[in-house]
Amino acid sequence: MRLSVVRRYSFEAAHVLSWHAGKCSRMHGHSYHLEVEVAGEPNENGVVMDFADVDEVVDPVLSELDHHLLNDLIDNPTAEMTSLHIARELSSRGLPWCRLRLWETDSGSVLLER
């Protein structure tokens, strides 16, 4: 049996995909939603990881993206590249995530697993 905690976050950001043949070639924004999953065994307090401890790592990473033009921070900021950027940042800050899902729209998301 696998046990994990999942937190959901939101941030707003804009981007331009100049290579795109459609409307995404113009600057536009999204209300992104990020799901972060941490798996493991419950500790002596009965939790895999306290939600507040997850927030302590995730919140500063998303603050760097929130209400910014992603092109200023990420080369080719597709949903895939943005999710990889977030994953690298969370890993470098020591969060033992096992799955990330970045929703760019209500019907489109990117899933990363390790």
Q: Any binding-site annotation on 33?
A: no
Residue of 20, 56, 67, 80 with catalytic role: 67
Taking CA 40 as the corner, what is the angle to CA 90 and CA 42, rounded to the nearest 5 degrees?
Answer: 120
3-state secondary structure of 110: strand
Q: Judging by DSSP bridges, how do beta strands 4-15 and 108-113 pair with one another?
A: unpaired
Q: Any catalytic annotation for residue 67? A: yes
Q: Any binding-site annotation on 85?
A: no
Q: Any catalytic annotation for residue 56? A: no
Q: How far apart are CA 58 and CA 85, in angstroms?
A: 12
Helix (H), strand (E) at residue 63? helix 51-63
Residue of 24, 33, 35, 68 with catalytic role: 24
Q: Any catalytic annotation for residue 33? A: no
Name residue 38's beta-bridge partners: 5
| Residues that constitute the known binding site for Zn(2+) | 15, 28, 30
| Residues that constitute the known binding site | 15, 28, 30
Indicate which residues carry an active-site annotation: 24, 67, 104
